């Protein structure tokens, strides 16, 4: 998962979840019904899956403490280096060990490295889109299935990544055909006219390449306009419903942390088919596996956006913590894939990616 790659890099998938709070409102298409997120909010209770943490907010606190420690370490290094450099300017004649040539050279190197790291994380890596291949096989398909999955676009006006996304999906379609494009939610960071127009143009472009199916993310539930934009662009929004993906395959679109939706799917699932669960966050992975799904596709965590070697994501905003932070996982007989997503969280602090480049996922299911 870790490591940056070039814009045309492609690799195979190798070896989070929803925010614990209840969304303040839902679009009318939900009939005003709130999804079953009470358990997610508390992290336990009747019907909670085995192994669920008792209090999801504790994971959030631990993540933010880790992130704060990382930020404070960086600030301490930067502050100490700046202090040494300031003494160099004010006191050109060495007065103590802080003014030694070695200390000054080291301080200059640290400041240069931190500056380069900040520029990379803010301006370079967020544009280094990668394509991840997710290869599976099943005996239940009448024909091979090929789909593109992407999530967490978080559009803010027109962006070069949108053009690269569209071009990448077009190349995938031209190289081997495409049965569907699956979208995992969180489409806008704001509802300015420029952002809305940009995401609508992008979605219309996708619709010209293959049928597009989408679910809403937690950020979209706070913006009812998003669903209207999706529909206007020709996207089929799945709200606890199923559509065919081809001979022997189907995709269920499940609402954000909606255990009622999983229960409905479990009662209606045709286990003679290859069943895909498309949802926003990994918070209902155990329920989906128990229901009999074969593949679970989601985003929400962004892979943490900032990852460290041997540590991984610092923050996932997931009730399960780092259990499903990014990449491919096996849960019972089901494969789950949590994408790093495409865009960035809104706000100035999180507008960066480090060792966590954006990705789209090419899902290829062979007929065994």
Q: How does pLDDT run across 252-267, given as a tens digit for each residue? A: 999 988 899 999 999 9
Quick one: angle between helices 160-176 and 193-207, nearest 10?
Answer: 10
* pLDDT value at residue 13: 63
Cα end-to-end span (Å), the chain? 28
What does the pLDDT look like over 202-233, one tens digit per residue? 999 999 999 999 999 988 888 889 999 999 99
* pLDDT value at residue 93: 58
Average pLDDT over residues 335-339: 97
Q: Is pLDDT at 240 greater than 90 in this prediction? A: yes
Q: Is pLDDT at 194 greater than 90 in this prediction? A: no
Going by C-alpha positions, the residue among 111, 251, 132 that lies closest to residue 183 is 251
Beta-strand pair 327-331/312-313: unpaired
In this prediction, residue 118 has a pLDDT band, given cuts at 50, 70 and 90, of confident
* pLDDT value at residue 62: 61
Concatenated DSSP letters of 35-68: PS-HHHHHT-STTPPTT--S-HHHHHHHHHHHHH
d(CA 188, CA 224): 11
Beta-strand pair 359-367/10-12: unpaired
d(CA 254, CA 309): 33
* pLDDT value at residue 360: 96
Going by C-alpha positions, the residue among 105, 72, 74, 75 that lies closest to residue 88 is 105
Going by C-alpha positions, the residue among 243, 242, 247 that lies closest to residue 139 is 247
| CATH superfamily assigned to domain 128-367 | Metallo-dependent phosphatases (3.60.21.10)
d(CA 203, CA 187): 10
Query: Is the separation of the CB atoms in 367 and 139 below 8 Å?
Result: yes
* pLDDT value at residue 347: 67
Average pLDDT over residues 333-340: 96
Of residues 171 and 22, more confidence is placed in 171
In this prediction, residue 91 has a pLDDT band, given cuts at 50, 70 and 90, of low
> What is the Cα Rg of the chain in Å?
22
Q: Which of 103-112, 220-229, 301-310, 336-345 ranks highest by mean pLDDT?
A: 336-345
Q: Is pLDDT at 34 greater than 70 in this prediction? A: no
Going by C-alpha positions, the residue among 334, 295, 308, 345 that lies closest to residue 73 is 308
The residue with tokens 């040494």 is 84
The pTM assigned to this predicted structure is 0.80
Q: Where are the domains of the chain?
A: 56-125, 128-367
d(CA 246, CA 239): 20
DSSP character at residue 190: -
Handedness of CA 277, 282, 288, 293 (dihedral sign): positive
Average pLDDT score over the chain: 80
What does the pLDDT look like over 129-155, one tens digit per residue? 999 999 999 999 989 999 999 999 998
Here the tokens at position 49 are: 């899956």
* pLDDT value at residue 55: 40
DSSP character at residue 355: S
Going by C-alpha positions, the residue among 186, 124, 182 that lies closest to residue 155 is 186
Here the tokens at position 241 are: 């419903």
* pLDDT value at residue 195: 84
Average pLDDT over residues 280-297: 95
**How many helices and strands in the chain, by DSSP H and E?**
9, 15
Q: CB count, 10 Å around CB of 137?
A: 12
* pLDDT value at residue 9: 42
Least confident of 14-23, 71-80, 160-169, 316-325: 14-23
Of residues 122 and 43, more confidence is placed in 122
Least confident of 9-18, 73-82, 123-132, 252-261: 9-18
Q: Is pLDDT at 18 greater than 60 in this prediction? A: no
The residue with tokens 């606190």 is 61
363 — phi, psi (to 5°)? -95, 120
Least confident of 64-68, 69-73, 197-201, 333-337: 64-68
* pLDDT value at residue 6: 38
Q: In Å, how far are 33, 109, 232 from 362, measured between CA atoms?
A: 33, 41, 25
d(CA 192, CA 223): 12
Handedness of CA 271, 275, 277, 283 (dihedral sign): positive
């Amino acid at each position: 998962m870790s490591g940056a790659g070039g814009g045309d890099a492609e690799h195979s998938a190798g070896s989070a979840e929803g925010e614990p709070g209840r969304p303040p409102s839902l679009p009318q298409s939900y009939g005003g019904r709130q999804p079953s997120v009470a358990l997610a909010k508390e992290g336990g209770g009747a019907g909670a899956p085995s192994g669920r943490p008792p209090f999801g907010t504790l994971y959030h606190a631990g993540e933010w403490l880790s992130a704060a420690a990382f930020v404070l370490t960086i600030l301490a290094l930067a502050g100490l280096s700046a202090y040494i450099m300031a003494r160099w300017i004010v006191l050109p004649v060495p007065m103590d060990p802080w003014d030694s040539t070695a200390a000054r050279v080291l301080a200059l190197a640290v400041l240069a490295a931190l500056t380069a790291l900040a520029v990379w994380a803010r301006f370079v890596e967020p544009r280094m889109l990668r394509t991840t291949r997710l290869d599976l096989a099943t005996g239940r398909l009448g024909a091979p299935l090929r789909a593109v999955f992407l999530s967490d676009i978080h559009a803010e006006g027109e962006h070069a990544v949108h053009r690269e996304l569209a071009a990448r999906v077009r190349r995938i379609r031209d190289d081997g055909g495409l049965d569907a494009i699956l979208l995992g939610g969180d489409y806008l960071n704001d509802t300015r006219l420029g952002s809305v127009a940009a995401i609508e143009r992008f979605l219309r472009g996708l619709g010209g390449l293959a049928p597009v199916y989408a679910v809403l993310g937690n950020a979209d539930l706070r913006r009812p306009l998003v669903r209207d934009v999706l529909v206007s662009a020709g996207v089929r929004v799945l709200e606890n419903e199923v559509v065919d993906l081809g001979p022997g395959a189907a995709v269920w679109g499940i609402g954000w942390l909606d255990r009622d939706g999983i229960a409905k799917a479990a009662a209606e699932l045709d286990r003679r088919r290859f069943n895909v669960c498309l949802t926003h966050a990994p918070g209902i992975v155990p329920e989906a596996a128990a229901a009999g799904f074969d593949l679970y596709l989601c985003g929400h965590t962004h892979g943490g956006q900032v990852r460290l070697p041997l540590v991984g994501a610092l923050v996932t905003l997931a009730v399960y913590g780092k259990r499903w932070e990014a990449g491919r996982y096996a849960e019972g007989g089901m494969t789950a894939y949590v994408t790093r997503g495409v865009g960035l969280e809104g706000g100035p602090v999180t507008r960066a990616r480090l060792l966590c480049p954006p990705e789209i996922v090419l899902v290829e299911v062979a007929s065994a």
